[in-house]
Amino acid sequence: MWLYWPIWIATVIYVVSVARHNVCEAQSFKGMEPWTSKDQPADEAKHHVEEISSARQVYTVTHGGTVDGRSCRSPVGAYGGFTQTWESNRAVRLENVGQTDVINPWLSNGRNNFRSLTEIAVSAIEPGMSDREKALALYYQEIAHRYHWHSGDNPEHCDPVKVYNVYGFNTCGNDSICLAGLWQQVGLQVSPARVMGHCVSQVFYDSGWHLLDADMQGIYLLWDNRTVASEHDVVRDHDLIKRAHTQGILTPDNRLGDEWEAALYVWEGAPLGTRACGYRHTMDMILRPGEALVWRWGHLDPIKFHGENQPEYPDTVCNGLWEYRPDFNSDIWRGGTEKVEGIKQTHDGLVAESGMGTIIWRMHCPYVLVGGRLEIEGSGATFAVSTDGKSWRNVVQNLDQVFSPNGEAQYEYYLRCQLSGQARLQRLAIINDVQMAPLALPEMVLCENTFVYTDESSSERQVRITHEWLERSVWKPPQMPEKPVYPQDRGETEGTDIVFQWPAVTELDGDGVADYHFELSEREDMKWPLSTNFAKLISLTADKGKPQYTLPYTGLLTPDRTYYWRVRAQNSKGMWGSWSKTWRFTVRGPAHPIEVRMDYEPSQAIGILRWKANPVGRRPVKYRVYGSDEKGFSVSDNPYQVNVGNPERGKLHSPFGANFVAETTNTEMMMVGVGLTLPNTNKAYYRVVAVDQQGNRSGPSDYVEALRPFIYSTPVEETKVGQEYRYQVTCVRSVGDLRAREGLTMNFWDIEEPQFTLLQGPG
């Protein structure tokens, strides 16, 4: 019987070890907010354990129920991050349970391969992409993984690897640098735009510059509705921004806000300089035997974070774990230390050989460290922490004070244990809280999920991966829209004043539909929307509560071109249903006039506006002409509200009057000259709209500028002796456009106020 005692003791030790490990796993996500407080009694806890023994291992996990975290999450906005009502994923534990170090392990779900700058760039690119497609693919990937906010540690947010994996947010200056770095990574030339109070980068392709504002989710198209405008384009013509939705998909439609955004663009010089982002940080890591990384959804309460600013959107911040539990029952633990002096191993733990014994561990994690604790069994051991390996501060168990939010971001530190006399260390767990960005975690979605584990270890490895999640079946998603009402699939539209319509969706839970998500693309694969006008939450538009989306302006789509669109519904629980099938249609109608110019006849002192019909679309039968003194004006048949800036300092007042001049069947019309009686002639700027036989209007043309100064008043040639002579001289003049100056003060600053001098008159 006594011969079996060693086996029995080993078994007890193993059982205790496993039990302790399982308790740790079971509690790995308890208390994580906001999800713990939103769980329901019927939610079923699930877990999956995968034992890894090869450098690359593929496995699948099936997520049951009717809802997952992604289906409860809104798109990412420029402000506020995203909204989410529930999350099924709770934790994934990646642990080295073997006897050797594991080099650079990673777990990929196919959507979180962001370990280096190169990997982030490559993840968005597909073989055969043009430079334009590369630029857009990286832009749309960027806006899907970060939002506008700052923690106060500016340098931390200039590295895309940290932004994607650790934070999930940055502000315009950081983001324009990050996106520029990614463009450069795929061989594209970049340059900063010079925007008042804002930072944006431009990218060069197809022989021109193109402005893509990932921070404010701004993409501004030229009148062909395909070419992305350059900084020069939007500075010259603010209407390119005013006709586009600005500040992200989660921002309600707001015309005055779009005008404010347009006013930031004032630089009229050539693109200068370049930009480069941080590139040194990677998600490389080494897991020693007994070391683990735990990805967790949700944050601690109170939240732990890095940065001097308390997170404005805490539910978009996750607190994961970095844990190390060296095993003092064998000599393997010594290989995981930086230094061991005067320490011997006994059957009852570690003790000093004589005098003072010292152990130093280096803790290094690719995620920023935001807190931690020590779990210690034994007596008399003293601990200290150092961030540089030189200066030390004593700690007991709580490590939170070591990682001050206001200090320098810490990704590593040293832990020193000293033993003397009868001091003994029997067990140690070093547990660190880390900050994680939720959208880069190895999440699961409903049904079957394929995961790929990889590492770069040259020797054998034993890795255990444990997935923990909840399954909920009491929530039912809305049905997907079955077919479009208008435009019909594979049908055509009359004009571009389109109201997209679909049948009202059935909500299976009986609570009603809360929202619809509309997307339109020039691509059949719906890889990205055509522009910011075509990725919309209907609740933030004038069509709120209706199964429809009305395009805000005429001419946002191009005739004779095929477009693709789809819709999904959200119920009152915040759960999105499946996307509808992708429907297609072709636009019919006239396109905007081209080659608009102003010709002058000096002998007659007149200016004639001329243009040509666009070869795209239907042949126009007539044209409508518009004139205004506002540079970059928007055509309007009625008076309209305008953002005029500071009304106390400005000289203009809203609303502006209608700017319609007249209709004509010709391709020219006299706009400047003496004695013209049509409204809005003798203006500084003109646009033309085409009209087809069915009465469909095109979008406006580019504007043309009238020559200035041009006096169009008739002098008073007779007066009486001894009486005051008075003649009001009138001429073509510009009021400029709404522009920002220092302090972001908005006004029409460039109003032209001509002055006249009498050169010759009666004595």
Mean pLDDT of all residues belonging to the chain: 94
pLDDT for the residue 461: 97
> pLDDT tens-digit profile of 359-394?
999 999 999 999 999 999 999 999 999 999 999 999
Rg (CA), the chain: 33
Residue 6 has pLDDT above 70, yes or no: no
> pLDDT tens-digit profile of 161-180?
999 999 999 999 999 999 99
Residue 726 has pLDDT above 90, yes or no: no
d(CA 519, CA 533): 9
pLDDT for the residue 228: 98
The mean per-residue pLDDT over the stretch 22-31 comes to: 58
485-511 burial: b if 16+ Cβ within 10 Å, else e: eebeeeeebebbebebbbeebebeeee
| Homologous superfamily of domain range 323-433 | PAW domain (2.60.120.1020)
Q: What H or E segment, with its residue span, contains residue 271?
A: none
pLDDT confidence of 22, banded at 50, 70, 90? very low
pLDDT for the residue 721: 87
> pLDDT tens-digit profile of 259-294?
999 999 999 999 999 998 989 999 999 999 999 999
* Number of Cβ within a 10 Å radius of residue 105: 23
In the numeric block, the tokens 């996307």 are attached to 579
Which residues, including other chains, have CB under 8 Å from residue 761's CB and lie 6 or more apart?
725
pLDDT for the residue 763: 67
Q: What are phi and psi of 627, to 5 degrees?
A: -140, 145
The mean per-residue pLDDT over the stretch 105-116 comes to: 98
List alpha helices for 113-219, DSSP H. 117-124, 131-143, 160-162, 172-185
Contact 630, 586 (CB under 8 A): no
The CATH code of domain 120-262 reads 3.10.620
Domains 491-586 and 589-763 equal at CATH topology level:
yes
Tell me which architecture the domain covering 491-586 has in CATH.
Answer: Sandwich (2.60)
Give 507 or 94, the one with higher predicted confidence. Answer: 94
> pLDDT tens-digit profile of 687-700?
999 999 999 999 99
Contact 294, 28 (CB under 8 A): yes
pLDDT for the residue 725: 84
Residue 509 has pLDDT above 80, yes or no: no
> What's the token pair of residue 363?
């803790």
pLDDT for the residue 8: 40
Identify how many contiguous H helices and E strands the chain contains and give both numbers.
8, 41
pLDDT confidence of 27, banded at 50, 70, 90? low
Residue 555 has pLDDT above 70, yes or no: yes
> pLDDT tens-digit profile of 28-42?
778 899 999 999 999
The CATH code of domain 589-763 reads 2.60.40.10
Domain range 31-115+283-297+441-475, its CATH number among 2.60.120, 2.40.50, 1.10.8, 3.30.70: 2.60.120
pLDDT for the residue 4: 38
Q: Are strands 286-287 and 393-395 parallel, antiparallel or unpaired?
A: unpaired
pLDDT for the residue 16: 36
> pLDDT tens-digit profile of 218-264?
999 999 999 999 999 999 999 999 999 999 999 999 999 999 999 99
d(CA 145, CA 532): 17
> pLDDT tens-digit profile of 452-498?
999 999 999 999 999 999 999 999 999 999 999 999 999 999 999 99
SS3 143: helix
Residue % of the chain over a pLDDT of 90: 88
Residue 649 has pLDDT above 80, yes or no: no
SS3 262: helix
pLDDT confidence of 11, banded at 50, 70, 90? very low
pLDDT for the residue 378: 96
Residue 15 has pLDDT above 60, yes or no: no
pLDDT confidence of 530, banded at 50, 70, 90? very high
The mean per-residue pLDDT over the stretch 709-729 comes to: 87
**What are the residue ranges spanned by the domains of the chain?**
31-115+283-297+441-475, 120-262, 323-433, 491-586, 589-763
pLDDT for the residue 719: 84
